[in-house]
Structure 1
C-alpha cells in the first residue's frame, strides 16, 4: 500500500479515536509531509514518520537515568512528555509521547498486563457517555486509534483501561491532547513492545510523583 493511501485512511478516521483527540487544523495542511515510507510488519506495514519534524527532545534517544527505579522499569513523565525504559548501565531508552488533556491524565503504579499487536479498539463506558455516536469497536489496522501496538496496564488482575499505544497523529507527540492514554509514534511503540515483557512495572508520574 502506498503511503499516500495510508495517510488518506488515517485522516478519514482520526475523529473516531477514543484515546485520541479531535483532528488539529495544523495537521490538515499536509499530512503526507509527516511520512517518509513504511517499515515491514504484519499484517500491515508501519508508516514511518519524518522525525526531523519533531522537537529533538521528543525523538527516540538514549539518556542518562538518575532515578531510583530498577532496570526494566518503564517510567512515564506526563509533565516532560517522555517515556523512559531504564537500562542496566545507568541509562534509559527515551521516547517522546503525547498525553491526556487536563483532567484526563492518570498517574500511579501499574504493570503491563497484556500486549497487543495491531489491536482492536473499543471505547470505555465514560467515552460512550460523552459521545454516544462512537463506534463500539474497530478492528486493528492503519485506521485504528491504538496504532501498531498497545501495552495494557493492570493493577493486580484488573485492567485499569489505561494504555500505552501507537498513534496515527504524529503531530500530537509532545502535546496534551488525548483522552488519557499515552501515545507514541508507531515505530517507537513497536521498538518498546519488543523490549518489555508482560509483568513489566510501569510508573506514571505527574508533578514528579507517581503516588497520589
Structure 2
C-alpha cells in the first residue's frame, strides 16, 4: 500500500474511573509504536477526552457528580492529563474533544490532510467507545485504517473483541494487525495483517460469540508467524 501514515493515540489519560483490561501491556505496545514513529518521523497525534468542569455541553444522560459537573474526564483535573509514559513532545498535537470520536468538532481531519496522511494507525482507549467511533468516522472521511489490536483496550476482554468484530465486519478500508506487525509495516518490511474479505466476515449468532472471538484471535495470532 502506498501511504503516508500517522499514529493516533486516543485518550491515554490519567482518568482512573474505569478499570481497563490488560492495560499495562497495551501501554507498553503504544510506547513501542510511539518510539518507532518518532524515530521514523511519522506524524503523531494525541487526543484527550475532556468534559467542561461546569457540565455544560455534555451529552444528555452523561454521568454527573453531585455538583452537576462531569463525574469523569473533568477539565482542570489531573485525570485529563496524558499518562507520563506517553507524554507528548512539544511538536505533537494534542487534540481535545468533548465527544467519543476524535473527529467530532475538532480539527483532526484538517491536520491530517495538511500532512498528506492517508493511513491512520489507531491505538488507545476505549476500544468499544472512542476507538470505535473514531474508526467509523475515519472510514467515512476516506482514510485507510491500521487498527493495532493489542495497542487498544476497554473495560473487559469481551467488550474489546466485540468492538473488533464490529469493525472487522463493516469497515472496508480496515486492516487489523498486532504491534509487532505494525512495527514491520512502519519499517517498510513485509508484514501480515487481517484484512476482512467481505462484509460481515465475522457474522455470528449470540451463542457463537465465544467461537467467533476465538476465530478472530486465531487470525491475528497467525499474522505473527
Indicate the structure with greater strand content. Answer: 1
Bigger CA radius of gyration: 2
Q: Does TM, normalized by the shorter one, top 0.5?
A: no
Give TM-score scaled by structure 1 length.
Answer: 0.22
